[in-house]
């Protein structure tokens, strides 16, 4: 027999490691388009992710100082501080801990490798579908195990001549109430943007015209709007 001496020291308890699941993942979204912010928030929250959305990069950076976050999705053409500047500022901060930063843009003049070489983890080109977003998030947070957004609900969305609600409806899992909320927000945002554009034209301010028209472009593409007659239906 082997001699055994029982220890009188207390057994050390191993501290359980925090598991990353969809219910405790914090995603920050930055986009100056209110209706698109709402779309991103809705689809990510539908996956049980915790989402905080911001209109500007400066507001996001201020919140990040005192908030935990696991992933960031940012538009590129933001007011005052664009997405590239935001990414560089965030990475240089003492509260950044190598979280993936995903660029979201409607610009097609720069290829995806340009964004990645500059420091972004990935790029999503607008307009995009819900599954494109989910697959990209899954790529960088695989433990979240997000599911496809292919809806089991039957869509009752009618067909219209000048625009198409099907992509947005699919994005929102064919939730009619969410679709109505998003469209109302889109209309309000568009009315504000049109007034801004009118001011830009009257003052011949090319910067305002370019920034506002770019801001409006994504949702117009998402809705596949072909004519201003679409607003008569809305």
Whether the per-residue pLDDT at 171 is higher than 70: the answer is no
Q: Which CATH class is domain 22-148+155-233?
A: alpha beta
pLDDT of 16 reads 44
* pLDDT over 50 at 4, yes or no: no
Q: What is the DSSP letter of 157?
A: P
Q: How far is CA 180 from CA 129, 132, 152, 157, 223, in A?
A: 18, 23, 19, 11, 13
pLDDT of residue 163: 76
Nearest to 30 by CA among 65, 6, 9, 60: 60
Residue 216 three-state SS: helix
- Give CA separation, 64 vs 53, 105, 192, 222, 224, in Å: 12, 22, 29, 30, 35
Instruction: Give the integer Cα–Cα distance in Å for 224 and 162.
Output: 8
Least confident span in 31-40, 115-124, 149-158:
149-158
What the block records as the tokens of 211 is 């920034």
Report whether pLDDT(100) > 70.
Answer: yes
Domain boundaries, the chain: 22-148+155-233
Which residue has better confidence, 48 or 162?
Answer: 48
* Token pair recorded at residue 186: 């889109």
Share of the chain above pLDDT 70, in %: 79
- Calpha distance 157→218 (Å, rounded): 21
Q: Which of 36-40, 136-140, 145-149 has the highest mean pLDDT?
A: 136-140
Other CB atoms within 10 A of residue 77 CB: 18
From residue 137, give the alpha-carbon distance in Å to each of 38, 99, 102.
17, 12, 9
More confident residue, 198 or 207: 198
Find how far residue 109's CA is from the centre of its chain: 21
How far apart CA 210 and CA 151 sit, in angstroms, is 36
Which of helix, strand or coil describes residue 133? Answer: helix
Kindly report, residue by residue over 5-35, the tens digit of the pLDDT.
Answer: 444 444 444 444 444 455 689 999 999 988 8
Q: Which of 39-43, 109-113, 152-156, 222-226 has the lowest mean pLDDT?
A: 152-156
């Amino acid at each position: 027999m082997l001699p055994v001496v029982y220890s009188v020291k207390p057994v050390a308890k191993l501290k359980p490691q925090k598991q990353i699941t969809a219910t405790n993942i914090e995603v920050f979204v930055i986009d100056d388009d209110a209706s698109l912010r709402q779309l991103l928030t809705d689809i990510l929250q539908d996956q049980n992710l915790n989402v905080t959305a911001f209109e500007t990069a400066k507001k996001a950076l201020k919140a990040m100082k005192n908030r935990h976050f696991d992933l960031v999705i940012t538009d590129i053409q933001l007011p005052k501080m664009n997405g590239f500047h935001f990414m560089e500022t965030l990475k240089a901060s003492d509260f950044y801990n190598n979280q993936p930063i995903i660029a979201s843009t409607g610009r097609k003049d720069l290829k995806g490798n340009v964004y990645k070489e500059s420091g972004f983890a990935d790029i999503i080109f607008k307009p995009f579908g819900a599954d494109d977003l989910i697959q990209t998030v899954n790529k960088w947070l695989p433990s979240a195990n997000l599911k496809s957004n292919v809806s089991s609900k039957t869509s009752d969305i009618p067909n219209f001549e000048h625009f198409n609600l099907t992509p947005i409806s699919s994005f929102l899992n064919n939730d009619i109430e969410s679709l109505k909320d998003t469209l109302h927000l889109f209309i309000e945002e568009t009315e504000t943007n049109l007034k801004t554009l009118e001011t830009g034209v009257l003052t011949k301010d090319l910067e305002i015209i370019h920034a506002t028209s770019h801001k409006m472009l994504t949702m117009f593409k998402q809705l596949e709007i072909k004519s201003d007659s679409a607003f008569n239906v809305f």
